[in-house]
Structure 1
Amino acid sequence: MPRLVTISRFLISIAFVLSGAVAASAQDRRQNAPGEFDFYVLSLSWSPSFCEAASERGNNGRGTQAQCGGRPYSFVVHGLWPQYERGFPEYCQRPSPRLARNIMTSMLDLMPAPGLIYNEWDKHGTCSGLGERAYFEAIRKARAAVKIPEEFLQLSEPKTVAPDELETAFIKANPGLSNSAISVTCDSKRLSEVRICLSKDLQFRSCEEIDRRACRRDQVLMPPVRGG
């Protein structure tokens, strides 16, 4: 009798392992299936904050030099990220298809660092279900769909701003954009990014989870644009 009990327990444990493996497999298929996602996040990075933080860290790598050299940048595209309603996919093809250099160079006006462009393709573009050219065309269309408020294009002096005030400025400049479709992120003191949620056809849409990750500071610093 004890032997039968032991065998039964063994079989039950095997069943649990197999059921867990099936559940994990189902989750993995969702995570790794290009094109199977719910919406995009267009992430716009405030370049002066990135450069100031990099300088404080003593980071003078090639990517930093490309973005923080002589040319002035305000908001630049960090990426266009496929998202689930909860969580997000990443690195959906390993190894990822190699991004053609001519496509990379064509994006430098919006994403001013080659390493950033290659990384965004590997980490996020491979999850979009689009080919490399179509994915970066989608980034360009998404960026064109968002108007940067006039007061931030040539910011010549440091500006302290409340995240809500920044969101309001974007909403005013972009008809159809609501406060449930935009969030502001920050570091310990500076504005980091403005993130805007878009449907797969690049229309503004709400995204509660992205909004929950927003900056909770009352005010953030926007360093000025070089030469602005």
Structure 2
Amino acid sequence: MKRLYASMALSVISLCAHALDQGEESLEGAPSAQFDYRAYAVTWQPTFCLLNPTTAGCDKPKNVFNTHGIWPYYKSTDQSANRHPSFCTKSVGCDQAGAVCELTDKDQKQAQAYPDFSEMVTESPESLMKHEWKKHGTCYGTSQIQYFEDFVNLRSVVKYNQAFNQYQGKSLGLDNLKSLFPANTSFRCANHKGKQYLFEVFFLIDRQGQPYTEDRNLQIGEKCQSKEIHIPMV
């Protein structure tokens, strides 16, 4: 596997062409379907709307975790806690094997019509879907339709203690937050006006959709600090 990653690093179209988080390594143009595990990403909608109040759906947000996407990942290293392919080539979901393809209008509409899909994504998700497919879906190793159907098919991995509901509108410590979620999770926070908010939770799963706990170092986005974390509610 190390030899594979080394060859991929030499063949990527561009590395760090997009702004990266601290500790992030994005292998752009990597071959599709070559990764170690996946992160099923969900966003706490009240926090998203606090940060993006004019976005569609934020006039009447709900106290829910919306599915953001499913992201292929490589195992972390001592130097990088966030290693992933992006904008992949040779995807079975593309007409041109050597190109990074766009989500087609036909497949987007079909995916949006899939049972329960609209219930777990943000309102008017068209732009999100186009971005998620091009950056992450091309690396997933399936058709465009299957990638988005897995938003629904794998949603059952989103599990947490129902005591989480009691903390909505309140604050809690990082250790307490972690105790409410299974071991295969990673967290992202956001700071707004001097206050730390829970923003996203990432449920790590293997290729079979089972909990993946081998990567303890993964950190996507802003790390939650050991101070009060607020969980807003509407």
Three-state SS of the structure 2 residue aligned to 1:204 is coil
Kindly state the Cα deviation for residue 222 of structure 1 after the two structures are TM-superposed: 0.7
Q: Of residues 212, 221, 224 in structure 2, which corresponds to 1:205?
A: 212
Q: Of residues 44, 59, 63 in structure 2, which corresponds to 1:69?
A: 59
Answering whether residue 194 of structure 2 is matched by residue 185 of structure 1, we say no
- Aligned-residue sequence identity (percent) comes to 24
Cα distance in 1 for partners of 2:181, 2:74 equals 24
Structure whose CA Rg is larger = 1
Amino acid of the residue matched to residue 229 of structure 2? V
Q: What TM-score do you get using the length of structure 1 for normalisation?
A: 0.72
Q: Of residues 162, 175, 178 in structure 2, which corresponds to 1:164?
A: 175
Cα distance in 1 for partners of 2:133, 2:201 equals 20
Kept in 2, the 8 Å contact 1:104–1:118? The answer is no
Kept in 2, the 8 Å contact 1:163–1:218? The answer is yes
Structure 1: give runs of 5+ residues left out of the alignment.
1-21, 172-177
| Residue aligning to 2:135 | 123
Aligned pair in 2 of structure 1 residues 123, 23: CA closer, same or farther (>3 Å)?
A: closer
Per-residue CA deviation, residues 84-143 of structure 1 (Å, 9 max, x unaligned), is 114101111423342432213542211113322221111111100111121122222221
Superposition CA RMSD, Å:
2.6
The structure in which a higher percent of residues are helix is 1
Per-residue CA deviation, residues 7-28 of structure 1 (Å, 9 max, x unaligned), is xxxxxxxxxxxxxxx9677442
The structure in which a higher percent of residues are strand is 2
Cα distance in 2 for partners of 1:148, 1:25 equals 36
Aligned pair in 2 of structure 1 residues 202, 53: CA closer, same or farther (>3 Å)?
A: same
Aligned pair in 2 of structure 1 residues 133, 24: CA closer, same or farther (>3 Å)?
A: closer
Aligned pair in 2 of structure 1 residues 151, 24: CA closer, same or farther (>3 Å)?
A: closer
Q: Of residues 88, 92, 98 in structure 2, which corresponds to 1:92?
A: 88
Provide the aligned length of Structure 1 versus Structure 2: 187
Cα distance in 2 for partners of 1:140, 1:96 equals 21
